Structure 1
Amino acid sequence: MVLPSPSIARDYTGEPCPGRFNIARYCLAEAARVTPDKVALIVVGDADAPLEAAEQRRYGELDRAVRSVAAGLLAEGFKSGERLMIRMPNTSDYALMFFGALAAGIVPLPSSSQLTASEADFLLEDSASSAVAIAPGMEIVAPDHVRILDTETIARLKAHEPLADYADTGANDPAFLVYTSGTSGRPKGVLHAHRSAWGRRPMYKGWYGIERGDTVLHAGAFNWTYTLGVGLTDPWANGATTVLYNGEKDVEVWPKLMERTRATLFAAVPTLYRQILKYCDLTRYDLSALRHGLTAGEALSPALLSQWRETTGKELYEALGMSECSTYVSTGPGMEIRPGSPGKPQPGRCVAALPADGGTEPLGPGETGLLAVHRSDPGLMLGYWRRPEEEAEIYRGEWFVGGDLARFDDDGYMWYEGRADDLMNAMGYRVSPQEVEMTLASHPHVQEVAVTELRVRSDVSVVAAFVVPKEGSTPDAAEMLAWASDRLAAYKCPREIVFVESLPRTANGKVMRRALARP
């Protein structure tokens, strides 16, 4: 038996969060006071246009605009704690609505612009949001009691006289609600407190090495905590500049923007780094300002890390996280990178591997168990929205257990061993196989269906659907893929349809998805 390491902490040891705390104030007030004329936000719509043509907002202006939106929301009758769904693409208005709601003590729900109308309707209903801020062209079916904040309404909010100060919220007060895929086949809400922004502080040195003079370019969308945190919250909390892009998606855009904006930090999922290396001639671009890249959302393969280093001469720092706690294990400047490992627990965090079959005593080095984060971590969620039965399953004593299997080596580096459940990772998004199965099961030619990840290369997996067709039907894979794309966000859609005679099952009838994924 390997005894537990005596060095494993039993509590969060970082600087405690102040009792009264508001995310928007934390991110904007100090920078607006100290550097009001510094550019906080650049929104680029055309990567080929001069940077001077892009929308730019300075800290003083941004701080005032956020407090104006907050005042406008309160004047419109919103109450503290109400949910406000945001259904918009990556724009400055999205950021203003998100932080304006926080500044007013209202709980924003950032959603993806990729969602279909029915998916968005589910989020609106499940969250019991009292309003939805919506961009032109975005569909949603809102009940009569739900207010629609359209472009005209948002303009009125921004024109309001700003609040004198941000809402006096407590660190543990609800701040924002995000949705993640769950094992039940329906997305579930993850409710975060205002302290969640303070809980990101271990990342500043443990992952980014972020400085006030940095310019951060993030390639993600705002519905993702990876983008909200790395792309907005953390740069602003450190007085840095953040760059958003909302133009046509072309992989060549990213090195072009790195050069044009003189980005010092670039954040994306490994898939995008792989595409950049494959389709872009990086010798054509001046990337001298870039200190290093940041990656999360899916595992960084040793081969991709090596290729990025050889091609750019820059480091690539990986982090492991989840919607419930954002990132908590990472590599960063000054650390040795061990290819295949996402790194060590960030300074101050209490992370351990617990026995898979039960117990609260952390395992020792080399033993594989369920990855757990101590409940004292300020970055940990308040809980799942209206899912008390699921919360009961994820807490084990003082530990939050997220379902990942991992082990720690003698030096504290974590090695990922897969998931204990069947959740898939598609382009960095967690996708529930049940949700995709429910959609395909409604197809008239489908008798049974099981969905899983299918590894197509050593470092690339795709979502695949294994379909048992109805007897006498003439199924067509392309038509089924189109059926799915009409009903699911693009990142949830299967990339492969495989027709089979039957699905492998256990003795008690449960489908064995992992057996399907084997060659």
Structure 2
Amino acid sequence: MNSYDDRPWLGRYADGQAVDLDPEFTDALAMFRASVAGRPDTVAVKYFDGVLTLRDLDELSDAFAVALQANGFGRGDRIALYLQNVPQFVIALLAAWKAGGIVVPVNPMSKQRELSYLLADSGATVLLCLEGLYSAVARDVVADTDVRFVVTTSELAYQSRDDERVFKGIERTRHEGTSDFVELIDAHSGGRPEPVSYDVDDVAFLTYTSGTTGTPKGAMNTHGNVTYNAQVYRDWCRLGPDDTVLGVAPLFHITGLIAHIAVSLLIPAPLVLAYRFEPGVVLDAIREHRTTFTVGAITVFIALSNTPGVTRADLASLRTVYSGGAPIAPSTARSFQDSFGIYVHNVYGLTETTSPSHLVPPRVAAPVDPASGALSVGVPAPGTMVRIQDDNGNDLPAGEIGEIVTSGPQVVLGYWNKPDETAHALPGRQLRTGDVGYMDADGWFYIVDRKKDLINASGYKVWPREVEDVLYEHPAVREAAVIGVPDEYRGETVKAFVSLKPGTTATPDDLIAHCKERLAAYKYPRGVQLIDELPKTVTGKILRRELRKRSG
């Protein structure tokens, strides 16, 4: 099968069922309202011992929407949410839509420089943030931005079981010049905003790219993007009201926004939140709430598997598990399945594809490419056209490596206020992903690496992914990342950074010998540096740029 136009999965879900390419909803707010109308007493959010139903979410978001409008927030305005995984995120998101606005999710790890940039670039006029983040970061930033209304809130709200593992040392702090989230809602309780509706291309989120390749850009995820990919997750994974979604990805990230919030609101099904990722806390949440579905970085599942005392029974409720955001080594997938009986399916997408563009079918093991050892990221989502192209934009046949170019209902309009970047990366709304990969003869797609991460050793191409996958086959390796470093003889040579599993030992020479036995001479690392933790984004992507800095 070498043609891009005769692929059997186009317009079909994993079990062969045809998909209606006219989405059920083109308006994310209408999607939520339909769930409230049909099942108002369904549990929508679980947060430690706190519970909110769909009716609760509807009433709370109504009140906050009225509060926003009373403070000058209107159609097309932006609200920045500078929060961890707390119920207030979901309430404020819905309220912003009810008030006619656009949501700007902000990484809670952002510092003053990063927050200042995001607020300035988005033109946000309202900021909702945790009290601690206001005092530590936002207070010194907002005066120089367009923000004119600041609301603060506490991670201790909407639950009463303050888990010391994540809440230790946190106390309520009121700040001058800010309004309290819960008090605002109480003051406007019973109020209802004027009805609004959205078209398919109205912007729902400005989700900022991670900045791993340069200045973060605000991807304009539309209401049509959001509802389409929520439907893809629901129908591809066969999710229903009996499911419970584990919110293990950060809600500010596109995975959390779609695979957690949007999916749970569409089904509707409970969304379990645990503030931030702490393996022991998440394990307790899985045990207590019997979660059935989740999407998270593979680093999450590595951390869970290495948590002392974890057993197969602890994770037994998880029926459908996907991982995205960072590559999965085949050996890691095998190890997790051997230990817990759970196969971690690959899902691939970007901020600009509003989460998934490719998925491995449920209950199907992804093939491993015999040449590179890469685990397939799956097949394109229904209604998605994916091409492999050379540097001149020509389509390449099956088996040839090139850039992955994606188009479909989930691809964003462009970047906020960045027409040049939009024209370059999204010509004709076809996304040039910057990822290098290929399609095999059976239609499975494989990611080789990022274009910029290619290592040129004596004229030979070395893709870090291949070396990393070999390192993961060593029984002592927990995480690995490979970069190119300057070399007087080769131009560049391969260097690996490795963290080891607890209770294991391995020397750099051991790991080099392991790779030397399994890789061509130009591919194996000439240097290995052991470190406790690899630097990562909050979503689990390893930051190779930080490793390059360490290499001088």
**TM-score grouping bracket, smaller chain normalisation:** 0.7 to 0.9
Letter in 2 for 1:74: Q
Match of 2:351 in 1: 323
Kindly state the Cα deviation for residue 11 of structure 1 after the two structures are TM-superposed.
9.2
Secondary structure class of the residue paired with 2:279: coil
Match of 2:546 in 1: 494
| Match for residue 413 of structure 1 among 444, 460, 469 | 444
- Does 1:231 find its partner at 2:260? yes
Q: Provide Cα deviations, 1:45-69, integer angstroms capped at 9, x if missing partner.
A: xxxxxxxxx1110111112222222
CA gap 1:87/1:131 in 2 versus in 1, 3 angstroms: same
Match of 2:165 in 1: none
Q: Provide Cα deviations, 1:285-340, integer angstroms capped at 9, x if missing partner.
A: 44332213221111111111111111111222110000001211011325443241
| Match for residue 434 of structure 2 among 396, 403, 407 | 403
Secondary structure class of the residue paired with 1:337: coil
Match of 2:315 in 1: 287
CA gap 1:155/1:252 in 2 versus in 1, 3 angstroms: closer
Letter in 2 for 1:392: A
Match of 2:95 in 1: 100
Match of 2:410 in 1: 379
CA gap 1:251/1:367 in 2 versus in 1, 3 angstroms: same
Kindly state the Cα deviation for residue 344 of structure 1 after the two structures are TM-superposed.
0.7
CA gap 1:6/1:91 in 2 versus in 1, 3 angstroms: closer
- Does 1:24 find its partner at 2:29? yes
Letter in 1 for 2:269: A
Residues 83, 107 of structure 1: 8 Å contact kept? yes
TM-score for both structures, normalised by structure 2:
0.72
Secondary structure class of the residue paired with 1:320: strand
Kindly state the Cα deviation for residue 15 of structure 1 after the two structures are TM-superposed.
3.3
Match of 1:356 in 2: 391
Kindly state the Cα deviation for residue 408 of structure 1 after the two structures are TM-superposed.
1.0
- Does 1:204 find its partner at 2:234? yes
Letter in 1 for 2:329: S
Residues 388, 396 of structure 2: 8 Å contact kept? yes
CA gap 1:364/1:79 in 2 versus in 1, 3 angstroms: same
Distance in 1 (CA, whole Å) between partners of 2:485 and 2:389 is: 34
- Does 1:15 find its partner at 2:17? no
Moved more, 112-121 or 278-287: 278-287
Match of 1:131 in 2: 126
Give aligned-pair identity as a percent.
Answer: 23
Residues 218, 266 of structure 1: 8 Å contact kept? yes
Distance in 1 (CA, whole Å) between partners of 2:38 and 2:67 is: 26
Unaligned runs of at least 5 residues, structure 1: 45-53, 425-451, 468-480, 501-519
- Does 1:115 find its partner at 2:146? no
Q: Provide Cα deviations, 1:339-371, integer angstroms capped at 9, x if missing partner.
A: 410111122222221223323xx3322122211
CA gap 1:3/1:288 in 2 versus in 1, 3 angstroms: closer
Match of 2:403 in 1: 370
| Match for residue 158 of structure 1 among 161, 185, 194 | 185
Moved more, 116-125 or 146-155: 146-155
Secondary structure class of the residue paired with 1:282: coil
- Does 1:271 find its partner at 2:299? yes
CA gap 1:364/1:95 in 2 versus in 1, 3 angstroms: same
- Does 1:256 find its partner at 2:284? yes
Q: Provide Cα deviations, 1:479-509, integer angstroms capped at 9, x if missing partner.
A: xx9xxx9xx9997683685455xxxxxxxxx
Residues 31, 239 of structure 1: 8 Å contact kept? yes
CA gap 1:149/1:136 in 2 versus in 1, 3 angstroms: same
| Match for residue 338 of structure 1 among 353, 367, 370 | 367
Kindly state the Cα deviation for residue 39 of structure 1 after the two structures are TM-superposed.
0.9
Distance in 2 (CA, whole Å) between partners of 1:89 and 1:390 is: 30
Secondary structure class of the residue paired with 1:384: coil
Distance in 2 (CA, whole Å) between partners of 1:322 and 1:273 is: 20
- Does 1:195 find its partner at 2:224? yes
Match of 2:147 in 1: 146
Letter in 2 for 1:127: S
Match of 2:56 in 1: 61
Kindly state the Cα deviation for residue 171 of structure 1 after the two structures are TM-superposed.
1.3
**Which has the bigger relative contact order, CA under 8 A and spacing at least 6?**
1
Distance in 1 (CA, whole Å) between partners of 2:80 and 2:405 is: 30
Secondary structure class of the residue paired with 1:279: coil
Moved more, 455-464 or 385-394: 455-464
Q: Provide Cα deviations, 1:16-43, integer angstroms capped at 9, x if missing partner.
A: 55798431331x2222222222211001
| Match for residue 34 of structure 1 among 27, 35, 38 | 38
Distance in 1 (CA, whole Å) between partners of 2:212 and 2:337 is: 37
CA gap 1:499/1:11 in 2 versus in 1, 3 angstroms: closer
Kindly state the Cα deviation for residue 242 of structure 1 after the two structures are TM-superposed.
0.8
Letter in 1 for 2:301: Y
- Does 1:304 find its partner at 2:332? yes
Kindly state the Cα deviation for residue 265 of structure 1 after the two structures are TM-superposed.
1.4
Moved more, 17-26 or 399-408: 17-26
- Does 1:458 find its partner at 2:458? no
Letter in 1 for 2:232: P
Residues 203, 328 of structure 1: 8 Å contact kept? no
Match of 1:175 in 2: 204
Secondary structure class of the residue paired with 1:275: helix
Letter in 2 for 1:301: A
CA gap 1:101/1:6 in 2 versus in 1, 3 angstroms: closer
Distance in 1 (CA, whole Å) between partners of 2:259 and 2:11 is: 22
CA gap 1:135/1:353 in 2 versus in 1, 3 angstroms: same
Kindly state the Cα deviation for residue 4 of structure 1 after the two structures are TM-superposed.
3.8
Q: Provide Cα deviations, 1:165-215, integer angstroms capped at 9, x if missing partner.
A: 752111111211011134773211111111112220223233x33111101
Task: Report the RMSD for the aligned CA atoms in angstroms.
Answer: 3.3
Letter in 2 for 1:458: L
Q: Provide Cα deviations, 1:137-180, integer angstroms capped at 9, x if missing partner.
A: 11221126522223434234423234367521111112110111
Residues 98, 193 of structure 2: 8 Å contact kept? no
Distance in 1 (CA, whole Å) between partners of 2:431 and 2:217 is: 17
Distance in 2 (CA, whole Å) between partners of 1:348 and 1:156 is: 45
Distance in 1 (CA, whole Å) between partners of 2:242 and 2:194 is: 27
CA gap 1:314/1:191 in 2 versus in 1, 3 angstroms: same
Kindly state the Cα deviation for residue 284 of structure 1 after the two structures are TM-superposed.
7.0
Q: Provide Cα deviations, 1:400-440, integer angstroms capped at 9, x if missing partner.
A: 2111111111221101121223499xxxxxxxxxxxxxxxx
Letter in 1 for 2:448: E
CA gap 1:273/1:11 in 2 versus in 1, 3 angstroms: closer
